Structure 1
Amino acid sequence: MKILYDNQIFTQQNYGGVSRYFCELMDQYSQDPDIEQTLALRYSRNENLCSRYALYQHWSSRSEFLCNTHIFPVIRKITRVDVLNYLRINQRESVRMLKKQDFDLFHPTYYDPYFLQHLQQKPFILTVYDMIHELYPGYFSPNDPTKTWKKKLIEQAEAIIAISESTKSDIIKYTNAEPDRISVVYLGNPFEYLVQSHRVKNNFEHPALEEPYILFVGNRNGYKNFIFFIKSVARLLKKDENLRVYCAGGGPFMRPELEILNELNILSKVRFINTNDLIMKHLYENAQAFIFPSLYEGFGLPILEAFSCGCPALLSNSSSLSEVGADAACYFDPNDPESLLQSIETVLSDDHYRETLIRKGFERLKLFSWENTAQGTKKVYDNLLNQ
């Protein structure tokens, strides 16, 4: 079985859940003699991909010059090469590999339908990560083509993978996709590979942390509900002079966020940390709790990250989060500040409840592995090719 993956997410995303998903699939299939895989790509700065040297062999035409971490940043600065240039370089490579037709099945990594005219008679399978653009269009630019692209691909894909039952239900609700064309395949633990000692840098330096703290992870825009979260916990931060909030990833605070933190008089107690997997793991391991106030998630990988690090997870009672967390997490209403505050105070004050959540988190984690993800995905591949 020959699988072709394209460049999209590895051009667009330097770090994130979707690129990790495809890296983990490729990692698993590297050990599967039944699968021959190719990643149509020349250049990427994606941390998930570039840190996995074993996957370099699967790149269709890796440019040592463009990928050089010392030379190319200088060239980029001088010539003002930007993401659009990378996209052109990589998309040309994806089109080149599509035209070769040396594959049995195409699996695009995101929703740009550029490839449809080049597929000829080859089938493609689409992974749908969420339906956030359909549910909350107000959080996105009216010029954002994602919703239109996604609808077009859902209509034409021979098979669809949804990463949760919640996402499958939303696909059915917002499109004309037949339920029997959609397979649910859960994701795995993002930190699973860190247990392999050769992956961990021995000289890693942990960031200095002021404890105790609660943890917010990822992007803070729109439906991620950060402003609700920070306004809700402001009272708690003032009440407990030692408690702090760390925000991991998502970029440095923007001016409107800094203004809100200043108005709430908590600017000194909320800190942004630029992160990678090792830093993230360290943050989870030392946090009093991980708070996930998002209004919507297609799956929620940070839940599994928290479980794997023994960090109590406090989750919004929306979308897929309870499907992933089950009884191993504490839930709150993402529109009710009192609900969130009560959940945090319960976890911080009740050691028995806290330990119960940690124990159940480890048990729940056993249901999610990248091996299971790869096997479930391969089953969809097989079913499609054997029709």
Structure 2
Amino acid sequence: MVQLIFRRRNDRSFSIEKVFETVLPFLREQIEINIKEVPVRAGGLSSVWKNIRSLRSLKGDVYHVTGDIHYAVLGFPRRKTVLTIHDCVFMHQSSGLKRWILKKIWLDWPVNHARVITTISEKSKDEIISFTGCNPDKIKVIPNPVSAAFSPSPNNTERTQPVILFIGTKINKNLERAIDAMKGLAIQLWIVGQVTDQQRRALEDAKISWQSWVGVSEEKLVQLYQDCDILLFPSLYEGFGLPVLEAQRVGRAVITSNIMPMKEVAGKGACLVDPNNENDIREGLLKVIGDQQYRKSIIQEGLKNVIPFEAGTIAQQYRSVYAGLLQE
């Protein structure tokens, strides 16, 4: 049996756990899987200890911790543990004593304790090695899967005001610079995420027609992809960049950052732009909107690019990791 350990879920967000659950039906075709959620989602060191203590009675052949509770591997036998690290964003967003504590509890100790580390991109692997000194051979890159709910949906409509879908509003998503890039363009902007007062003012100043949605279901998210024309995803930092694949699978043109891991994930199926340059983002938008042949070509490349990220293929990679531990 594989014990799959998740953090306490938050139904208000489209979480890491929902992404990983995409592979569960395929894993369960050959392996017995039990899902365990830790009792506490967030808090201080007492919450960390409570979560670790709650896991010690679990029995299994393999223990796989995913989500942002890396420390949970400390509750299991070293030789039986798999730890999935999605990104190291917290190392870029903290400093001083807080950063030191986070590094020890979320990176150094878990990475040292786990038998196998998996991560979702080469960029994340490089960061784990850089921050911890981990042996590269201990880390396996297994990409995120794209849900089968995102299926090809032809869009033959040529709108006078194309719909631009934008996923996420946190600082790394780069919405403010994207707003500057869209000033004066005849577009409609659809935003998934909580729009701040500052972002709202920027949208009003730029005179952009926009709508936003918060806490959307997967069904609603699929609908937004199907109803849009272009995904704009000029992120400054990601562990992976799943929206790129979601848009590609639906058959929408993608504009994303020319940095890792987005360009790794997108392959040839996207218009790549400099996320730090609003003029470059604008030029990318103008090219995708105005050049129909180019738009069609990146859509077709995207449909091909997404095939290796299907859930069944990703599940087989995890099964191989589990099998390797069981054979030791």
Q: Normalised by the size of structure 1, how large is the TM-score?
A: 0.73
Name the amino acid aligned to 1:212: P
Question: Structure 1's 143 and 119: CA in aligned 2 closer, same or farther, altered over 3 A?
Answer: same
Tell me how far apart the structure 2 counterparts of residues 42 and 156 of structure 1 sit (CA, whole Å): 19
2:28 to 27, 30, 43: 30
2:106 to 150, 171, 175: 150
Name the amino acid aligned to 1:188: P
The question of 1:213 aligning with 2:179 is answered no
2:238 to 297, 313, 317: 297
Q: CA deviation at 1:308?
A: 1.2
1:206 corresponding residue in structure 2:
none
The question of 1:316 aligning with 2:315 is answered no
The question of 1:273 aligning with 2:272 is answered no
Deviations 1:22-68 (A, max 9, x none): 31232222222xx211112499xxxxxxxxxxxxxxxxxxxxxxxxx
Q: CA deviation at 1:331?
A: 0.4
Tell me how far apart the structure 1 counterparts of residues 97 and 212 of structure 2 sit (CA, whole Å): 26
Map 1:1-387 → 2, pairs under 5 A: 2-8=1-7, 10-12=8-10, 14-32=12-30, 35-41=31-37, 95-96=53-54, 98-100=56-58, 102-112=59-69, 115=72, 118-120=75-77, 123-134=80-91, 136-137=92-93, 142=98, 146-151=102-107, 152-190=109-147, 192-193=148-149, 212-218=162-168, 220-236=169-185, 240=186, 243-248=187-192, 250-251=193-194, 253-266=195-208, 269-274=209-214, 275-387=216-328
Alignment check: 8 A CA contact 2:236 2:275 kept: yes
Q: CA deviation at 1:14?
A: 4.0
Matched residue SS, 1:294: coil
Matched residue SS, 1:372: helix
Alignment check: 8 A CA contact 1:4 1:106 kept: yes
Tell me how far apart the structure 2 counterparts of residues 319 and 139 of structure 1 sit (CA, whole Å): 23
Stretch of structure 1 that moved more, 10-19 or 284-293? 10-19
Alignment check: 8 A CA contact 1:111 1:153 kept: no
Tell me how far apart the structure 1 counterparts of residues 264 and 38 of structure 2 sit (CA, whole Å): 38
Tell me how far apart the structure 2 counterparts of residues 140 and 318 of structure 1 sit (CA, whole Å): 28
Return 5+ residue gaps in structure 1 as ranges: 44-81, 196-208
Question: Structure 1's 12 and 176: CA in aligned 2 closer, same or farther, altered over 3 A?
Answer: farther
More strand by proportion, 1 or 2?
Answer: 2
Matched residue SS, 1:235: coil
Matched residue SS, 2:268: helix
Return 5+ residue gaps in structure 2 as ranges: 152-158
Tell me how far apart the structure 1 counterparts of residues 243 and 290 of structure 2 sit (CA, whole Å): 23
Q: Normalised by the size of structure 2, how large is the TM-score?
A: 0.85
Question: How many residues in Structure 1 have an aligned counterpart in Structure 2?
Answer: 317
Overall identity of the aligned pairs, in %: 24
Tell me how far apart the structure 2 counterparts of residues 261 and 123 of structure 1 sit (CA, whole Å): 51
Q: CA deviation at 1:222?
A: 1.6
Question: Structure 1's 189 and 140: CA in aligned 2 closer, same or farther, altered over 3 A?
Answer: farther
Alignment check: 8 A CA contact 1:125 1:161 kept: yes
Name the amino acid aligned to 1:150: W
RMSD (Å) for aligned C-alpha atoms: 3.1
Question: Structure 1's 145 and 31: CA in aligned 2 closer, same or farther, altered over 3 A?
Answer: farther
Q: CA deviation at 1:280?
A: 1.9
